[in-house]
Amino acid sequence: MNLKKIFFQISACTSIFLITSCQKDFQLRFSNLYTEDIDSVLVGNKTAVFTSIARQTKSSYQSIKVGSYNVVCVTKSKVRLPFNINLSGRSGGNRTMQLDGVGSFVVIEE
């Protein structure tokens, strides 16, 4: 009886380890195609912070976990642009958050 219980516990722990080890972080950056420079971009509760992104440039990559995040972009003139992003999947990889000239926001898989 105890042997079955121990085997079940080992199997459960191994399964949990394998599932969590397959989920990889994403590499996230911000691309500014907006009409003015961006002062800061806050992803989640300071999960990722991008600062001083000039027009027509991209930030460096930052590591971020799978999940849904609120994003707030603040321009140099202090205009706040709120968005939501959802990073899902187990493969990880590179993603670019892009803000275009009319204020549209997309996440691009690279």
Domain range annotation of the chain:
25-109
The correct CATH number of 25-109 out of 3.40.50.720, 3.40.50.2300, 2.60.40.2890, 2.60.40.2480 is: 2.60.40.2890
pLDDT digits (tens, 9 = 90+) for 70-100: 999 999 999 999 999 998 876 788 999 999 9
Is pLDDT at 17 greater than 50 in this prediction? no
Q: How many percent of the chain have pLDDT more than 90?
A: 63
Name the average pLDDT for the chain. 84
CA distance 108 to 105: 10
Residue 19 pLDDT class (50, 70, 90 cuts)? very low
The answer to whether 66 touches 23, Cβ cutoff 8 Å, is yes
Is pLDDT at 18 greater than 50 in this prediction? no
Buried b (16+ CB within 10 A) or exposed e, 18-47: eeeeeeeebbbbbbbebeeebbebbbbeeb
